[in-house]
Amino acid sequence: MKHPPKMTLILLAMFILAQFVGLAVLYQYIDHDKSIETGKTEFKQLPIGERPPVEEKTSFIPVIIAILIGTAIFLLIIKFKLMLIWKGWFLLAIVISLLVSFAAFIDVKVALILAVGLGVWRIFRPNFWIQNMTEIFLYGGLAAIFVPMFNLFSGIVLLILISGYDAYAVWKSKHMITLAKSQAKAKMFAGLLVPYKLSKPNLSLPKKKLSKIRQVPQKVRTAILGGGDIGFPLIFAGVVLKELGLWQSLIIPLFSALGLGMLLWKSKEKKFYPAMPFISAGCFLGLGVVLLIGLLI
């Protein structure tokens, strides 16, 4: 087992929470009146402007190309240690995603202030709490941007391609491992971070020694889950919401979490594994269950 049972359950609970929060954000962006008029799911405009105009059937193509280009740029940034560019890019992505997510529930100006504040806090004063809190919300913003661009066919193809790419990037080229380690080292990791324990200094020590201990970085083993492993199953669940309905979409996260849980149970400690093949398998199983229920009722 990759992590102790307690850590595994916490990671799975946070994964499911991020999925349901993301679906709640996406649901708020549905224009229900217009959807009734047109007979298909219509979405409201985003606070950041119009979504990219793409063909739903082939929308997976530009997304995959963007991922490959973004990965190449990221590897170059790491190689040449362009930390300022990295921080600016990462901060912008966080702020945009949080803005879209928060604006689903509150005034856009308040959402912007909150998004900028949390984004700056996370980049310049990172800790486990702000990391995970922002992660749980920001994928809803990404879903609100990308889900309207997909239909069920392109959503399925996207998961298949991403799963293959994830397996190659972890087991063959191993550049995904390089990215994860570099992000963690720079404290700009995109994903969930769950520390095994929060280190507490011995308060009985003299103040001088205690001050020195606090200044020394303490290594704490951490359970991690990459951002893509959260975002892509959420996009797929969002497509199910768009194409099939609300209750159908709520089933998908349970099965994607089942796939992730199987990986965490079967995997070995301190080894890297591609999560997307297992999560995608859970998504497809969930879709099968949804379609079967639809036939029965």
3-state secondary structure string across the chain:
CCCCHHHHHHHHHHHHHHHHHHHHHHHHCECHHHHHHHCCCCECCECCECCCCCCHHHCHHHHHHHHHHHHHHHHHHHHCCCHHHHHHHHHHHHHHHHHHHHCCCCCHHHHHHHHHHHHHHHHHCCCHHHHHHHHHHHHHHHHHHHHHHCCHHHHHHHHHHHHHHHHHHHHHCCHHHHHHHHHHHCCCCCEEEEECCCCCCCCCCCHHHHHHHHHCCCCCCEEEEEHHHHHHHHHHHHHHHHHCCHHHHHHHHHHHHHHHHHHHHHCCCCCCCCCHHHHHHHHHHHHHHHHHHHHHC
Q: What is the pLDDT of residue 270?
A: 79
**Mean pLDDT value of segment 87-95:** 95
Q: Out of 58-62, 221-225, 278-282, which region has the weakest mean confidence (pLDDT)?
A: 221-225
Domain residue ranges in the chain: 5-39+55-296
| Tens digit of each residue's pLDDT (9 = 90 or more) over 174-184 | 999 888 888 88
- Rg from Cα positions in the chain: 20
Whether the pLDDT of residue 216 is over 70: the answer is no
Whether the pLDDT of residue 215 is over 60: the answer is no
Q: What is the pLDDT of residue 187?
A: 84
Q: How confident is the model at residue 207 (pLDDT cuts 50, 70, 90)?
A: low
Q: Which residues, at least 6 apart from 124, have a Cβ–Cβ distance to it below 8 Å? A: none
**Mean pLDDT value of segment 64-86:** 91
Q: Is the pTM of this model over 0.85?
A: yes
Phi, psi of 126, rounded to the nearest 5 degrees:
-70, 145
* Percentage, residues of the chain above pLDDT 90: 76
Q: What is the pLDDT of residue 208?
A: 56
Whether the pLDDT of residue 217 is over 60: the answer is no
| Tens digit of each residue's pLDDT (9 = 90 or more) over 147-169 | 999 999 999 999 999 999 999 99
> How many other β-carbons are positioned within 10 Å of the β-carbon of residue 246?
11
**Mean pLDDT value of segment 8-14:** 96
Q: How confident is the model at residue 63 (pLDDT cuts 50, 70, 90)?
A: very high
Whether the pLDDT of residue 195 is over 50: the answer is yes
Q: What is the mean pLDDT of the chain?
A: 91
Q: How confident is the model at residue 218 (pLDDT cuts 50, 70, 90)?
A: low
Whether the pLDDT of residue 293 is over 50: the answer is yes
Q: How confident is the model at residue 249 (pLDDT cuts 50, 70, 90)?
A: very high
Q: Which residue has the tokens 């998961």?
A: 159
| Tens digit of each residue's pLDDT (9 = 90 or more) over 19-61 | 999 999 999 999 999 999 999 999 999 999 988 889 999 999 9
Q: What is the pLDDT of residue 204?
A: 47
Q: How far apart are CA 87 and CA 101, in angstroms?
A: 21
